Amino acid sequence: MERTLSIIKPDGVAKGIIGEIIKRFENDGLRISAIKMVYLTKKEAEGFYIVHKERPFYNSLTDFMSSGPIVVMVLEGNDAIRKNREIMGATNPKDADTGTIRRDFGTNVEKNTVHGSDSLESAAFEIDYFFKSLH
């Protein structure tokens, strides 16, 4: 059993597709073991994406992630990290496979609707960032 962090980004919440996204995870065998809606401050968004702090898109990304409410979830299941990434699709919606969340709902590489942990290490950091008591 593995855990990963999933975020429905401000564009996904604004589009009213929280239920549609959760349905895709559950239909694919991922269980939601924690969930909450939060409205990040700029500082909190910067802390979450600290690994990207030297990247040219860091300021814009953290502005966007603090521009509206987001839904933060812990997904649990066999191979949860890889499975979640498969359901999300490639980072850039225009490269994402048909039927993935980012292909169906994403606008561009920044407004790409969902975030998912990319490794066991980042899952541990990210789950802890939002749900301190879970592990």
Binding of ligand CMP at residue 102 (CB under 6 A)? no
In the residue annotation, 115 being an active-site residue is answered as: yes
Alpha helices in the chain (DSSP H): 10-14, 18-27, 42-48, 58-65, 80-88, 101-105, 120-130
Binding of ligand CMP at residue 84 (CB under 6 A)? no
Q: Name the catalytic one among 24, 83, 102, 115.
A: 115
Binding of ligand CMP at residue 104 (CB under 6 A)? no
The structure tokens listed for 34 are 């924690």
Binding of ligand CMP at residue 112 (CB under 6 A)? yes
Sheet containing 2-8, strands listed edge to edge, beginning at the edge strand earlier in sequence = 31-38, 70-77, 2-8, 114-116
Binding of ligand CMP at residue 57 (CB under 6 A)? yes
Binding of ligand CMP at residue 33 (CB under 6 A)? no
Tell me how far apart the alpha carbons of residues 92 and 15 are, in angstroms, rounded to a whole number. Answer: 18
The structure tokens listed for 77 are 């299941």
Nearer to ligand CMP, 8 or 22 (CB): 8
Pattern of binders to ligand CMP over 10-29, x per CB under 6 A?
Answer: --------------------
Q: Report the amino acid identity of residue 60.
A: S
Residues that bind ligand CMP (CB under 6 A): 52, 57, 61, 91, 109-110, 112, 115
